Structure 1
Amino acid sequence: MKKTILITGVSTGFGKDTALTMAAAGHCVFGTMRDTAGRNRDAAGALRAQGIDVVEMDVTQDASVDAAFAAVLERTGGTLDVLVNNAGVMVQGISETITTGQARDMFDVNVLGVQRTTRAVLPAMRNARAGLIVNIGSILGRVTIPFVGLYGASKHAVEAMTESYRYELSQLGVDVVLVQPSAYPTGLYAHPSPADGARASGYGEVADVPKAFVAFLQGLFSGADAPDPHEVATALVGLVDMPPGQRPARLVVGNPFGATEVNAVVKPIQQQLIDGIGMSGLNTLKV
């Protein structure tokens, strides 16, 4: 069944591929990005040529988010079936060399951006007593790799937000799912460098480890066995097509690097907690 879908961060990577894949599957797709008349003009034009309605939106600005959703909801008659919170940024390196400002900017996009868009869409979804919110997390929200710890911290936050929203909205007919992609060759890894790189001089040989990690990723992303980022878009289409009440709370896509095992261990503990505090009625989506 054709659905109306809004995807954030469609200029590159998972967002762009997902927008194109959803449109090819017959859905009505709105894609958001910043600076559609400037640096992203060509990206916006290419997506519009494929039938995607590109909307100007900066997930770090309340007014921009509110204006974008108001425009979309006006075009759709006040309804939106699916929100995919995809927009994300990364700074990678020795954590001490990442400034407070860089960390704040990461959390503003990766965490508060999700909160802004979710708040913007929920009145319409609650009114319809239906809807799907998909948050793009990361396996790094479950397992920790050195030198991407602050990015991982933002995705740990998205884990908690997503699970809490899933409980809170279950009786209102709104489904919430977390997708945990593995490492894929996308624009995410064309990341800015830590702004205080001079501090790395105090780390001795450890300062060379981030470069070795980048080399590892480059090797992972090259050759015939390189992971295909289209797997994420395909998984998202599958979630959209899945009947309400049957979607998993979490979905790992790609090499889990242990995230699947962590999910399996945590699930019964979380269930025991919810049952123990008398909230078991929030476990099942009301459809």
Structure 2
Amino acid sequence: MTPRTALVTGASTGIGFETAIALKAAGFTVYAGARRVEKMEPLKDHGITVLSLDVTLEDSMASAVALVEAAHGRIDVLVNNAGYGSYGSLEEVPLAEGRRQFEVNVIGLARMTQLVIPAMRQARSGRIINISSIGGKMYEPLGAWYHGTKFAVEGMSDSLRLELKPHGIDVVIVEPAGTDTEWGTIAGQGLLATSADGPYREQAHVMAAALASTSGQVISTPASVVAKAIVRAATAKRPRTRYPVGRGAWSVLALRRVLPDRLFDVALWSSYKRFTG
């Protein structure tokens, strides 16, 4: 039986890197794409093909999909993992940065999806796995741009699930909680660069500490655990529509459902302030 083909975006580190390895171990032919191709060199030792892929550039996205489809006819599983977190007060984050946040986290995801749908639709088979976050169901101070993108991914994925169902294509959302990757550290550094010295400085230092706490800490979830959930989503005969994953993911989502907004505001801020003592 011919192995199914998977393309993983944002595969240079963290969740994407581990997902590429896990999908290969599960029997997929795997293509891993990212801007930092040198970071993906170790993936070659696992028999994974690495591609230069920038989800903000049309030619880069179209070339990557065309290469895989030329070799295999279609992409069976697309994992839309490329993304980053842009934090800072809405007042202080330049609009150009806000646009870039949506360009990477939403528009790039949408364009990659557009590119793979025609071959999937023709085969009446395929699976699109969008990496959202529990941040697509909750919110944080100084995270308006980031959470705006994840809320968008959630709504887009739900709509897409319905419109592609008649064509045999599944759409799945994976919602990680805090994951032990470089993501939190980088997001915290960006936050401090934007808002550490202005009118939002108290919140900025609290939030930067909370974001950094996901990197190398026992409270965070290893990226490999998220990768296992993605493999389950890719291989299940009838996948769930959502896979919350990670320490605290289910409890946070449950609290968001049951607590009134203002009470959730208090609980959230209190939980974050403990990171600064």
Please give the TM-score of this superposition, normalised by the length of structure 1. 0.81
Pairing 1:123–2:118 present: yes
Q: Which residue of 2 aligns with 1:238?
A: 232
Counterpart of 1:213 in structure 2 is 207
Separation in 2, partners of 1:167, 1:152: 23
- Two-structure CA RMSD over aligned residues (Å): 2.3
Q: Which range moved further: 62-71 or 126-135?
A: 62-71
Offset of 1:215 from its aligned partner? 2.1
Q: Which one of the candidate residues 68, 72, 78 is aligned to 1:72?
A: 68
Superposition map of 1:238-277 within 5 A: 238-243=232-237, 246-254=238-246, 255-256=248-249, 258-260=252-254
Structure 1 residues 168, 5: closer, same or farther in 2, change over 3 A?
Answer: same
Unaligned runs of 5+ in 2: 260-277
Aligned partner (choices 197, 201, 215) of residue 194 of structure 2 = 197
- Tell me if the contact between 1:221 and 1:227 (Cα under 8 Å) persists in the aligned partners: no
C-alpha contact (below 8 Å) 1:252/1:260 kept by paired residues? no
Greater Cα shift, 253-262 or 105-114: 253-262
How far, CA to CA, are the matches of 1:219 and 1:44 in structure 2? 25
Q: Contact 1:10–1:19 (CA<8 Å) still a contact in 2?
A: yes
Q: Is the 8 A contact 1:81 1:125 kept in 2?
A: yes
Instruction: Report the count of equivalent residues.
Output: 254
C-alpha distance 146-162 of structure 1, shift in aligned 2 (>3 A) = same
Counterpart CA distance in 2 for 1:109 and 1:223 is 27
CA distance in 1, matches of 2:23, 2:98: 32
TM-score, scaled relative to structure 2: 0.84
Instruction: State whether residues 134 and 177 of structure 2, in contact with CA within 8 Å, keep that contact through their aligned partners in structure 1.
Output: yes
Match of 1:181 among 160, 169, 176: 176
How far residue 223 of structure 1 moved from its aligned partner, in angstroms, is 4.9
1:3 corresponds in structure 2 to 4
**Quick one: percent identity of the two aligned structures?**
34
1:219 Cα deviation from its structure 2 partner: 4.2
Q: Residues 202-237 of structure 1, C-alpha deviation per residue, up to 9 Å, x if partnerless?
A: x2xx41222122323444555545422221101011
- Inter-CA distance 219–8: structure 2 relative to 1 (3 Å threshold): closer
Tell me whether 1:89 sits opposite 2:84 in the alignment.
Answer: yes
Cα displacement (A) at 1:195? 9.4
* CA distance in 1: counterparts of 2:231 and 2:258, whole angstroms: 24
